[in-house]
Amino acid sequence: MGRTATNLVLLGAGHAHVAVLRRAAIRPIPGAALTLVTREPRAAYSGMLPGLLRGDYGFDDAHIACAPLAAAAGARLLIAEADGIDRAAGMLRLAGQSPLPFDLLSIDVGGRPVMPPGGGVPVKPVGRLLAGLAALEARLITGDRVAVIGAGAGGCELALALAHRLGSRTRVVLIGRDRAVLPGAPARAQAVVRRALAAAGIDWLGGVDAGPLHAGELALSDGRVLALAEAFWATGVVGPGFLAAAGLPCDAAGCLRVDATLRSTGDARVFAAGDCAALEGNARPKAGVWAVRAGPILEDNLRRAVAGQPLRRWRPQRDALVIMSLGNGRAVAWRNGLSVSGRLAWHWKDHLDRKWMRPS
Ligand SMILES: Cc1cc2nc3c(=O)[nH]c(=O)nc-3n(C[C@H](O)[C@H](O)[C@H](O)COP(=O)(O)OP(=O)(O)OC[C@H]3O[C@@H](n4cnc5c(N)ncnc54)[C@H](O)[C@@H]3O)c2cc1C
């Protein structure tokens, strides 16, 4: 009698799982029955999100259809939101649906921005951001002010894209906890972004913390109160609460602690990659590039785990190239303290993003 297949459940169509499924489509994982569980039928690629908001890309350019992705890999697709893991029973709990049994569970569900209770639109999930923006556009009146909170690369890109999209009838203000935009980036890249923000008419408020948004008013830590039509939160990432609630070891932000093989430090059946994972002793910044890079290692180790073979250790590079779009066909790129900006940087980003979306 043949061995029963190992139930390998991939939770979330994040960047690492897209890589896993693409590789499994070329070389199936022997002995595995694959299921992809994900909340939306089309997975957003946030590298192209600012371009989508500006109108450089259409919805399909910036989203990956999960059905063909899963079908090519021979995986079953379940559109569902996971809200718990019953580790004793080996079941993934799904909102409004029957729980799903797993032998191995790989998690790539990303994270959400840190935001206080109250109003405002988080940048993730992307579907909620797009819906929040559409609702805002329907009620905006000339002179309204909109804030983006968080001045990392994602927040700066979002502010620039919103200023372009909403036009001169709306004032965009970017708020950051640090005095400088893009904390940790080279000074030249910070200066380029400051100039781009000023040219787009965006007000920069640095060195302040934003409180909750209540009744259209946002209180700042320096005592000022801003009247806003909306606030978009692009602050640091936290993991989904159901990981820690399952008793899995997590870091302070609720991201699943994994060792260098991307396996949970608390449960040998569970793997994780991307923003929802915290790599022990080598924490990676919360950026899609690291989720993409984890993909091949994750795929190899899931394959090995199914076969009962020893796992490979991931030794990520120290640094990664960051390319941030500025709008108007320009971008700024930096790595290892060096930075370049201009049209070529934008073409390079556009080329890399399109290549990721449509690998040949
Ligand atoms: C405006 C903006 C621009 C950015 N630009 C860049 C960039 O240019 N380069 C870069 O490297 N990074 C960029 N980032 C950061 C990047 O978005 C994240 O680091 C990246 O998306 C993380 O990938 P991931 O695979 O961890 O998860 P995600 O891409 O967030 O994917 C998670 C998937 O899991 C699904 N999911 C989530 N929860 C559940 C659940 N409970 N049940 C079922 N499914 C679930 C979601 O539907 C989604 O498909 C940007 C971020 C923002 C906000």
- Is 350 a member of any domain? no
Which of 195, 210, 235 lies at the terminal end of a domain, its last residue?
235
Determine the Cα–Cα distance for residues 99 and 103; give it in Å rounded to an integer. Answer: 13
* Ligand 1 site, residue 23, Cβ cutoff 6 A: no
- Is 327 a member of any domain? no
Joined together, the tokens standing for residue 155 give 């927040």
The larger pLDDT score, comparing residue 255 to residue 169, is at 255
Name the residue at shortest CA distance from atom 19 of ligand 1. 287
Statement to judge: residues 146 and 223 lie in one domain: yes
Statement to judge: residues 228 and 273 lie in one domain: no
Determine the Cα–Cα distance for residues 160 and 202; give it in Å rounded to an integer. Answer: 8
Q: What is the dihedral of CA 105, 106, 109, 114, to 10 degrees?
A: 90
Determine the Cα–Cα distance for residues 23 and 17; give it in Å rounded to an integer. Answer: 10
Which of 198, 215, 235 lies at the terminal end of a domain, its last residue?
235
* Ligand 1 site, residue 85, Cβ cutoff 6 A: no
Q: What percent of the chain has pLDDT over 90?
A: 89
- Residue 308 Cα to ligand 1 midpoint, Å, equals 30
Statement to judge: residues 224 and 272 lie in one domain: no
- Is 340 a member of any domain? no
**Residue-number span of the structural domain to which 10 is assigned:** 6-111+239-307
Residue 148, SS3 per DSSP: strand
Contact 254, 239 (CB under 8 A): yes
* Ligand 1 site, residue 109, Cβ cutoff 6 A: yes
- We report the CATH number of the domain holding residue 143 as 3.50.50.60
> What pLDDT, on the 0 to 100 scale, is given for residue 282?
81
* Ligand 1 site, residue 257, Cβ cutoff 6 A: no
Encode pLDDT of 5-63 as tens digits.
Answer: 999 999 999 999 999 999 999 999 999 999 999 999 999 998 999 999 999 999 999 99
Contact 188, 159 (CB under 8 A): no
DSSP state of 56: S
Judged against a pLDDT cut of 70, whether residue 64 lies above it is answered with yes
- Is 148 a member of any domain? yes
Joined together, the tokens standing for residue 228 give 């806003």
Our count of domains for the chain comes to 2
- Is 318 a member of any domain? no
Determine the Cα–Cα distance for residues 112 and 123; give it in Å rounded to an integer. Answer: 8
Encode pLDDT of 235-248 as tens digits.
Answer: 989 999 999 999 99
Q: What does pTM read for this prediction?
A: 0.95
Sign of CA dihedral 25, 75, 291, 173: positive
Tell me the mean pLDDT in the region 319-327.
91
Tell me the mean pLDDT in the region 81-94.
97
> What pLDDT, on the 0 to 100 scale, is given for residue 49?
94
- CA triple 32-38-44, angle to 5 deg: 120
Contact 237, 286 (CB under 8 A): yes
Determine the Cα–Cα distance for residues 10 and 35; give it in Å rounded to an integer. Answer: 6
> What pLDDT, on the 0 to 100 scale, is given for residue 2?
55
DSSP secondary structure, 291-314, as one string: HHHHHHHHHHHHHHHHHTPPPPPP
> What pLDDT, on the 0 to 100 scale, is given for residue 1?
45
The larger pLDDT score, comparing residue 107 to residue 318, is at 107
